[in-house]
Structure 1
Amino acid sequence: MTFQPRMTSHREGITVLEDLRWRRWNGAVADLWHAACDAGAHGEYVSQDARLFVLLEHTGSDLELKLGPSSREVPGAKAPQHLSFVPAHMPLWSRMDGPMTLRHLDIHFDVTTLATRLGEDLDAGRLATPRLRFTNARILGLAQLIAAACEDPDSHHELYGDALMLALFIDLMQLGRTTRRKRGALAPWQLRRVTDFIEANCLRSIRLQELADLTELSQSYFSHAFKAATGLAPYQWHMKARIEKVQDMLVDADMPLTEIAAAAGFADQAHLTRVFRRTLGETPGAWRRANRA
């Protein structure tokens, strides 16, 4: 079933200035809002799903945030741009003492799908702990790129926004390379079937359900078993296979980098270069020169 954010809200003195712009990826929905607020404007919001509120820019008075109508304002950053993580089912109240305009991004997380995709057991305590008005330059930078993808949905390949959202969620949940209890790994025939399928289809988006179906396992069990067998989450193996295809094209073909990026499913040459450098430590052009000399 397609993930649909479930949020109820009550607002007074707040006017939406533009049509909502939004994007959906596998495990999250991002909404971009632009609004004007009167003096004394306020709102109450309750989401059934965990979400990240990102204040991208505002003019006028400060935005007050708290976890209930009678609670004290939660202390935090007074910076013009800040972030707030709101756990599922937790109410958030906002109030503006004076007139203001604001542009903000809401990212609603399908936590079950994201945990399955990442092959990680997420920290329940972290998911249940609100973090209001905090700053983090890396998360904010990723959120700004996601907002740009909402504004111009045709400017990038779907995988571009999907990768940004996953990176943001990994940073937000502070997921790292930790030693975890080993789970049962895929059987050799299952692993071979899945890796052969990824190899043959790596230049397109591959749904997790497609891979799970090949092994006759649930998505959650498959993700853990695949990571136990390979040390990588399925999406990481998929990206590794795409980069290997790019390496083949760099060596065997005289295609310009722009054409290679398009053929490999990247948004553009810059997107390919970022992923390639992050994976191999050098640019595609430098790697080609070193391996075709």
Structure 2
Amino acid sequence: MTFQPRMTSIREGVTVLDDLKWRSWNGVVADLWHAECGPGARGEYVSRHPRVFIVLDKLGGEFETRLQPNGPKLSPGGSAGSLSYIPAHMPVWGRAETGMRIRHLDIHFDPAEVGERLSEQLPPERLAQPNLMFSDERIFALARLIAQECAEPERRHDLYGDSLTLALLIDLFQPGREPAPRRTPLSAWQLRRVTDYMAANCSENIRLQDLAALVELSQSHFSHAFKASTGLPPHRWQMQARVRKGQEMLIAGGRSLTEIAAEAGFSDQAHFTRVFRRLVGETPAAWRRGRRAGDVSG
């Protein structure tokens, strides 16, 4: 992990209920917290990097958010679905009037690295402006998917999380209001180099920045050019390659579905079955039986 956020916090009356769960992607770190706040619990927080604070679930009373320790209350209570953007180096004070439990997601990010992925800077005026306890259904839906990635012990490949975090930050900051230029496809040698690499390593976590480096393009340019060439985003193409690898092992025989799932890069047999059925139209076991029946009848 290259990007490492730095946040200082002072908490009183706050108990963390579960172990911290977190994931890191290109220029982004997501932390999933579950905490209990007693009556009058308070906290002071400041980070060297900008972050997004998302209330996923809340049981019990309300909490207040302020930009000064004795300043005016700036939030309406922080119900589930509330979002806050806090710029870098900006202190925030929070206080719970009554007891409550809260599960929340913190998304820390490096604007320079995210800007490199987008091939354009995030708007400086938006980066400098705090926005506390607002609502946005689309951003909240993306945040819940990111939280699920943090919570699951078996991780999907990194391209999936890259896509989710980038989509959330694009929705939040809305860079590039002008229509994006039409991207040209990858050249034949670029497409061959990338797809050969992805096919050979489909069961591993493949980073978007590594694929882009193979053909000497920015991450944003590569993503658009790859989709223009294949009709699929990179993470979807990789998932299809994993299914193809699974089909090869199913035909060869000699392995259980659990072994095939692990070797093809899926978190477990259930994940393999779910993705296989979505892409092929039937379960791996049914597909293998159909192939055997076809061989016998032939």
Q: 1:162 to 1:236 in 2, by over 3 A?
A: closer
Q: 1:184 to 1:160 in 2, by over 3 A?
A: closer
RMSD over aligned CA atoms reads: 4.0
2:32·2:150 contact (CA, 8 Å) conserved in 1? Answer: yes
- Counterparts of 1:289 and 1:115 in 2: how far apart (Å)? 49
2:158·2:206 contact (CA, 8 Å) conserved in 1? Answer: no
2:115·2:122 contact (CA, 8 Å) conserved in 1? Answer: no
> Aligned residue for 1:50?
51
2:64·2:77 contact (CA, 8 Å) conserved in 1? Answer: no
Q: Does 1:194 align with 2:197?
A: no
> Highest Rg: 1 or 2?
2
With normalisation by structure 2, the TM-score equals: 0.70
- Counterparts of 2:77 and 2:278 in 1: how far apart (Å)? 33
Q: Secondary structure at the match of 1:199?
A: helix
Q: Does 1:25 align with 2:28?
A: no
Q: Secondary structure at the match of 1:241?
A: helix
Of the three residues 148, 158, 175, the one matched with 1:145 is: 148
- Counterparts of 2:243 and 2:119 in 1: how far apart (Å)? 24
2:55·2:78 contact (CA, 8 Å) conserved in 1? Answer: no
1:54·1:106 contact (CA, 8 Å) conserved in 2? Answer: no
Q: Secondary structure at the match of 1:98?
A: coil
Deviation for aligned residue 1:131: 6.4
Q: 1:34 to 1:193 in 2, by over 3 A?
A: closer
> Aligned residue for 1:264?
264
1:139·1:172 contact (CA, 8 Å) conserved in 2? Answer: no
Correspondences of 1:173-188 after superposition (within 5 Å)? 180-188=180-188
Q: How many equivalent pairs are there?
A: 279
Q: Share of identical aligned residues, percent?
A: 45
> Aligned residue for 2:83?
84
> Aligned residue for 2:253?
253
Q: 1:225 to 1:255 in 2, by over 3 A?
A: same
> Aligned residue for 2:273?
273
> Aligned residue for 1:233?
233
Q: Secondary structure at the match of 2:33?
A: strand
2:25·2:161 contact (CA, 8 Å) conserved in 1? Answer: no
> Aligned residue for 2:222?
222
Q: What code does the residue aligned with 2:75 have?
A: V
- Contiguous gaps of at least 5 residues in structure 2: 173-178
- Counterparts of 1:131 and 1:144 in 2: how far apart (Å)? 20
Deviation for aligned residue 1:274: 3.1
- Counterparts of 2:281 and 2:245 in 1: how far apart (Å)? 17
- Counterparts of 1:256 and 1:120 in 2: how far apart (Å)? 45
- Counterparts of 1:248 and 1:110 in 2: how far apart (Å)? 41
- Counterparts of 2:201 and 2:83 in 1: how far apart (Å)? 38
Q: What code does the residue aligned with 1:148 have?
A: A
- Counterparts of 1:91 and 1:172 in 2: how far apart (Å)? 21
Q: Secondary structure at the match of 2:205?
A: coil
- Contiguous gaps of at least 5 residues in structure 1: 150-154
- Counterparts of 2:169 and 2:277 in 1: how far apart (Å)? 23
Q: Secondary structure at the match of 2:31?
A: strand
Deviation for aligned residue 1:268: 0.5
2:32·2:147 contact (CA, 8 Å) conserved in 1? Answer: no
- Counterparts of 1:111 and 1:278 in 2: how far apart (Å)? 36
> Aligned residue for 1:159?
156
Q: What code does the residue aligned with 2:55 have?
A: V
- Counterparts of 2:196 and 2:222 in 1: how far apart (Å)? 16
Correspondences of 1:206-221 after superposition (within 5 Å)? 206-221=206-221
Q: 1:261 to 1:116 in 2, by over 3 A?
A: farther
Q: 1:94 to 1:266 in 2, by over 3 A?
A: same
Q: 1:287 to 1:55 in 2, by over 3 A?
A: same
With normalisation by structure 1, the TM-score equals: 0.71
1:85·1:132 contact (CA, 8 Å) conserved in 2? Answer: yes
Correspondences of 1:102-181 after superposition (within 5 Å)? 102-110=102-110, 130=131, 132=133, 134=135, 138-139=141-142, 142=145, 145-149=148-152, 155-156=153-154, 158-159=155-156, 163=160, 166-167=163-164, 170=167, 180-181=180-181
Query: C-alpha offsets along residues 175-197 of structure 1, whole Å, 9 cap, x if unaligned?
Result: 9xxx9531243222121111111
